[in-house]
Chains A and B, each alone.
Chain A
Amino acid sequence: GAVVSQHPSWVICKSGTSVKIECRSLDFQATTMFWYRQFPKQSLMLMATSNEGSKATYEQGVEKDKFLINHASLTLSTLTVTSAHPEDSSFYICSAREEGRTGNQPQHFGDGTRLSIL
Chain B
Amino acid sequence: GESVGLHLPTLSVQEGDNSIINCAYSNSASDYFIWYKQESGKGPQFIIDIRSNMDKRQGQRVTVLLNKTVKHLSLQIAATQPGDSAVYFCAETPRTYKYIFGTGTRLKVLA
Q: Which of A79-118 contact B (CB under 8 A)?
A: 93, 95, 97, 104, 106-112, 114
Q: Assess whether A108 is in contact with B98, with CB atoms less than 8 Å apart.
A: no
Complex-state Cα separation, A108 to B7, whole angstroms: 25
Interface of A, helix, strand, loop or mixed by DSSP: strand
Q: B residues within 8 A CB of A6?
A: 43
Q: B residues within 8 A CB of A42?
A: 7-8, 103-104
Which single residue of chain B is at the shortest CB-CB distance from A107? Answer: B99
Number of A-B pairs whose CB atoms are under 8 Å?
A: 57
Interface of B, helix, strand, loop or mixed by DSSP: loop
Interface residues on B, range: 20 to 34
Given contacts A41-B5, A43-B89, A43-B102, contact A32 B97 (CB under 8 A): yes
A78 part of interface (Cβ distance < 8 Å): no
> Interface residues, chain A, CB within 8 Å of chain B?
4, 6, 32, 34, 41-46, 49, 93, 95, 97, 104, 106-112, 114
Ranked nearest first, the 8 interchain pairs of A and B with the lowest CB-CB distance are A109-B43, A104-B32, A41-B7, A106-B46, A111-B43, A43-B101, A109-B44, A44-B101
